[in-house]
Chain A
Amino acid sequence: AQSVTQPDIHITVSEGASLELRCNYSYGATPYLFWYVQSPGQGLQLLLKYFSGDTLVQGIKGFEAEFKRSQSSFNLRKPSVHWSDAAEYFCAVGASRNTGFQKLVFGTGTRLLVSP
């Protein structure tokens, strides 16, 4: 069964500092991997996704993530954090075509706090 672990519940970063949010997944086949962001009272917005190919994926708002199969990881990074990046970040793994339907399994999220 698929699973996602986000080991950090909260992270506080100073504005302008770099950011790395950790994500580890468990899945038997080649995974589809996603990072979503959720602001308070809002739905989920897709930041980036990995299906295949280049293991370094660029997303919106200056975010990137690197897929490392050997470590079963898909960590999210940003070189310089802005105050508006404060939100909840979710990593998710998607089912492959073999299941007959599309289901995302989400981690429990990492809340990012940005200090002045």
Chain B
Amino acid sequence: ETGVTQSPTHLIKTRGQQVTLRCSSQSGHNTVSWYQQALGQGPQFIFQYYREEENGRGNFPPRFSGLQFPNYSSELNVNALELDDSALYLCASSSGLYTGELFFGEGSRLTVL
């Protein structure tokens, strides 16, 4: 069974640029959530995708957007990058909306200069 994989593991961008982060969910999982973890903080919920549609969103501006594909893999896109967007971005998958248990990837570390 393949776990949650994320790419890239590390990347550096400059303010104003755009970034796309990718996530392959665990086999059999149809729900993907994205979290932002700033240094020294707990993860914060960005949004969740279920069956290719966004079905829940945290307190993040519209420049954070996402996609989920028919194979349940997902992308997180961030436009107009700001310095405060520097963080570890975690993808988590689950086998349904309310299973309770999320399986996390190792994250993508984004640095914005």
Contacts and interface: CB of A to CB of B under 8 A. Distances in A.
A107 B40 CA distance: 11
Interface in A1-21: 4
B94 to A, nearest CB: 7
Query: Chain B CB within 10 Å — which of A34, A49, A102 has the most?
Result: A102
Given A44-B90, A44-B104, A45-B104, A102 B42 contact: no
Given A43-B4, A99-B56, A101-B55, A106 B100 contact: no
A106 B45 CA distance: 9
Interface residues of A, number: 27
Interface string A94-116: 10010111111111110000000
A106 B42 CA distance: 5
B98 A102 contact: yes
A108 B106 contact: no
Contacts of B99: 102
Contact of B100 (A32, A41, A105): A32
Contacts of A107: 42
B41 to A, nearest CB: 6
Contacts of B35: 104
A109 B104 contact: no
Contacts of B68: none
A26 to B, nearest CB: 15
B65 to A, nearest CB: 16
Interface in B18-74: 31, 33, 35, 40-45, 48, 50, 55-56, 58
B93 to A, nearest CB: 11
A34 B103 CA distance: 12
Interface of A: 4, 32, 34, 36, 41-46, 49, 51, 90, 92, 94, 97, 99-109
Given A90-B42, A90-B43, A94-B100, 13 more contacts: A4-B42, A32-B100, A34-B100, A41-B106, A43-B4, A43-B105, A43-B106, A44-B104, A49-B100, A101-B55, A103-B33, A103-B48, A104-B43
8 contacts: A44-B43, A46-B101, A94-B100, A100-B55, A101-B55, A102-B98, A103-B45, A103-B56
